[in-house]
Structure 1
Amino acid sequence: MSSTPPWNVRRLPAAEGRVFLVTGGNAGIGYFVAEQLSATGATVVLGSRSPARAEAAADAIRARVAGARVRAVRLDLADLSTLATSVESLEVDRLDAVVHNAGVALDHPPRRETADGHELMFGTNHLGHFALTRWLMPLLAAAPAARVVTMGSFAAKSERLDPDDLQSREDYRPKRTYGRSKLAQMYFGVELDRRLRAAGSTVASVVAHPGGALDSLTPSRPPIHVRTAGARLGSAPAALLVQGKDAGAWPAVRAVLDPAVRGGQLWGPRVFGLRGEPRLEPVWDHLADPALAARLWGASCELTGGDVLTRTPGSR
C-alpha cells in the first residue's frame, strides 16, 4: 500500500534543530511519542495540565535518552482561555510539528463539562486541540514544512458522528462519547489538511492511531509507568492481538518524522490496524465525508470562538 522507503522504528532519522510539541506528553502513548522523538536530537516540549507530572516525565526521558532536549509547558485543553498563554510560554519562533495526543476518557456517568461549558471529552479531545491549532498556526507556518499530527483511536472506527448532538446532551454514553470525540479529532485532521492545501500552506495535517495499546503490555518507565511481573504474565495472550503503548506511539512518530509522509494520510499499526509497525492505511470511508467534516468545522469555529486558519488579534 505504501511507496515509502523502509522504516526502522528503532533507528529514527536525526532531527537536530527541530522543535516538536506533544500534548499529553507526560503519560501513556504521549510519553512514548516524546521519548522516541527526543532520541532524534530534536527539542521536545511536553504539554500537560500537571507541571509536576510533566517534569517527572521529562526526567524519565533524560534518564533514558542521553542529551535529551526536553522541557514542559502547562497546557489545559479543557480551558480555552488559557491556550494563548500556553503557546506564548513555548518561547520559540517556529514549531516543526505538534502531536495532538492528550485526551480524556471517562468510563462512567455522570456527564461532565469543561470550564467553557462543553462536554468534557468532546471539549478536551476535539475542541481543545482545534483551538490550540489556531494559536499554533503562526509558529507552524514559520517552519519549512511543519506537520500537525492528530492522534485518533481505533475505537472511532465503529462510531459515527451525530452533528445534531456533538455535545452528547441527548445521548450520553461514556464509551460512545469518547469514541465520537476521537472521531471528531480525526475528521478535523483530514479536513484541516484539505483547507491547508486549498490555502497553499506549507503545513501538512496527518492522522494517526495507535491500534490496541494496553498498559499491561507497556514496558516500565518509573515513575511514569511501572509494569508488574503479574501484569506481564497475565497479558501475554493479548500480545497476539494488541501491543504496548510504546509501540502504539510508532504511527504518530512516523507521521512526524518520515519525509515520505503526506498530508491527509492515515497511519496505523500494520497487523489488522491493531498491532505492529506503522503503515499507511486507506482513510476510513466515514472519514471521507467532506460535507460532514465541513459541518463539524463550522460548529467547532462557533464553539471555540474562531477559525483555525483565520486567527485575528484579540480573538479568544
Structure 2
Amino acid sequence: MFSASRSQPWDVHRPPAAEGRTFLVTGGNAGIGYFVAEQLAATGAVVVLGSRDTAKADAAMASIRSRVSGARVRHLWLDLADLSTLKTAVDGLDIDHLDAVVHNAGVALDDPPRRETVDGHELMFGTNHLGHFALTQWLAPLLSAAPAGRIVTVGSFAARSERLDLDDLQSTRDYRPKRTYGRSKLAQMCFGFELDRRLRAAGSTVLSVVAHPGGALDSLTPSRPPVRVTTSGERLRALPAGLLVQGKDAGAWPVVRAVLDPAVRGGQLWGPRVFGLRGTPRCEPVPSHMADRAVAARLWAASSELTGTDSHLGFR
C-alpha cells in the first residue's frame, strides 16, 4: 500500500506538480482551508475557494497570489447552511470535471444557545455534515468525469472521543456546543468512510479519503495578512504548546497529501505523525467507532432524508 510513498518520500514543502487539475476547497478563505488552498495553488493547479463571504475570499486570494507566483485561484460563492443554494453554486463552477473537493468548511460554536441553519438543522451538524453530504450529490458528475476524482473530508481529533446519538443527531434534547461540534465532525468522518465503501461497490473511479489536522492552533500559525496576523506575543505564549501541537499551516499537510499523493487509497485516514497531533502526515488506523457500518448506514439514511438527496448521491 505504501510502496510508492517509501520509494519517493513525501515532501510537505514540495508536493508534486498538479498543472491542469482543478480543486475545490470549501472554507478555503481561512484557517486550515486557507493553508490547504495556498499549498495546492503552489502545485500549479486551479484552486477554487468555496466561501459565502466574498470579502474574506478576496483577501485569501490576494494573500495566496502574494506568496505563490502565478497562482490560479478563484472564488465560488458557497453557503453550506442553505441547502437550496448548492446546485446553483455548483453550476457556477462552469467546468467539465473536478479533480478533487476538500470538504473543509465548518462552524464551531463555543457557547449556547443552540442555533439553526436556514433549513432548520442544528447549525454545526447542518453545516459541517449535512451541507457537505448534499454538496457531494451536486459535485458527483464533475468528480466522476475526472480521471481519478477524490473527495477528501476534513475531520477532527475531537471526534475520537465522541459517539453519535442516532436518536438525537441534531442535539435537540441535550445541546452542549463542544460535544455537538465533535459529533458533527464524527458524522463527517463516518460519512467519508461509508462513501468510499459505496463508491467501491458501485465500481466508481472516485475515491473518498478522510484527513484531520491534529492539534492546530492559530497562535502557532504563520501570519497571512490580511487573512490573519499572529502577534509575537501570541507566538511566545504558545511556545510550550508547540511541543504537542502545531500551526494550521502544518495542520493542512495531511489534507494536501490526501488530495495529491498517488499512493493514497480510498477509505484511508490521514493525520499528523506524532500521536495524531503534530508532524508530517501518515496513514492512521481507522478507529472502530468511525468504521461501524451499522451506524454509518443509519447516519446515511437520516442524512439523505434530512437533506432530500438521492441516497446514491449521484454515483452509480
Report the TM-score, using the length of structure 1 for normalisation: 0.97
Q: Which residue in the other structure is 2:101 paired with?
A: 98
* 1:44-96: CA deviation from partner (whole Å, max 9, x where unpaired): 00000101111110111000000000000100000000000110111111000
Q: Please give the alpha-carbon distance, in whole angstroms, between the structure 2 residues aligned to 1:136 and 1:249.
A: 23
One of 37, 45, 49 as aligned partner of 1:46? 49
One of 233, 236, 261 as aligned partner of 1:233? 236
* 1:194-230: CA deviation from partner (whole Å, max 9, x where unpaired): 0000000000000000000000000000010101010
What amino acid is aligned across from residue 31 of structure 1 in structure 2?
Answer: Y
Report the TM-score, using the length of structure 2 for normalisation: 0.97
Q: Which residue in the other structure is 1:196 paired with?
A: 199
Q: Which residue in the other structure is 2:154 paired with?
A: 151
Following superposition, which runs of at least 4 residues in structure 1 exceed 4 angstroms of deviation? Answer: none
* 2:141–2:314 contact (8 Å) kept in structure 1: no
Q: Which residue in the other structure is 2:275 paired with?
A: 272
Q: Which residue in the other structure is 1:7 paired with?
A: 10
Q: CA deviation at 1:288?
A: 1.4
Q: CA deviation at 1:308?
A: 5.5
Give SS of 2:184's match: helix
Q: Please give the alpha-carbon distance, in whole angstroms, between the structure 1 residues aligned to 2:314 and 2:35.
A: 32
Q: Please give the alpha-carbon distance, in whole angstroms, between the structure 2 residues aligned to 1:310 and 1:286.
A: 23
CA RMSD of aligned residues (A): 1.1
One of 137, 140, 149 as aligned partner of 2:140? 137
Matched residues, number: 312
Q: Which residue in the other structure is 2:187 paired with?
A: 184
Q: Which residue in the other structure is 2:227 paired with?
A: 224
Q: Please give the alpha-carbon distance, in whole angstroms, between the structure 2 residues aligned to 1:308 and 1:215.
A: 38
Q: Please give the alpha-carbon distance, in whole angstroms, between the structure 1 residues aligned to 2:311 and 2:26.
A: 17
1:202-221 counterparts in 2 under 5 A? 202-221=205-224
* 1:25–1:34 contact (8 Å) kept in structure 2: yes
One of 68, 73, 79 as aligned partner of 1:70? 73
Give SS of 2:203's match: coil
Q: Which runs of 5+ in 2 are unaligned?
A: none
Q: Which residue in the other structure is 1:84 paired with?
A: 87
Q: Please give the alpha-carbon distance, in whole angstroms, between the structure 1 residues aligned to 2:74 and 2:82.
A: 22
Give SS of 1:35's match: helix
* 1:218–1:227 contact (8 Å) kept in structure 2: yes
1:55 aligns with 2:58: yes
* 2:103–2:132 contact (8 Å) kept in structure 1: yes
Q: Compared with structure 1, are the counterparts of its residues 10 and 63 closer, same or farther at alpha carbon in structure 2 (3 Å cutoff)?
A: same
Give SS of 1:92's match: coil
Q: Which residue in the other structure is 1:24 paired with?
A: 27
Q: Please give the alpha-carbon distance, in whole angstroms, between the structure 2 residues aligned to 1:198 and 1:82.
A: 30
1:291 aligns with 2:282: no
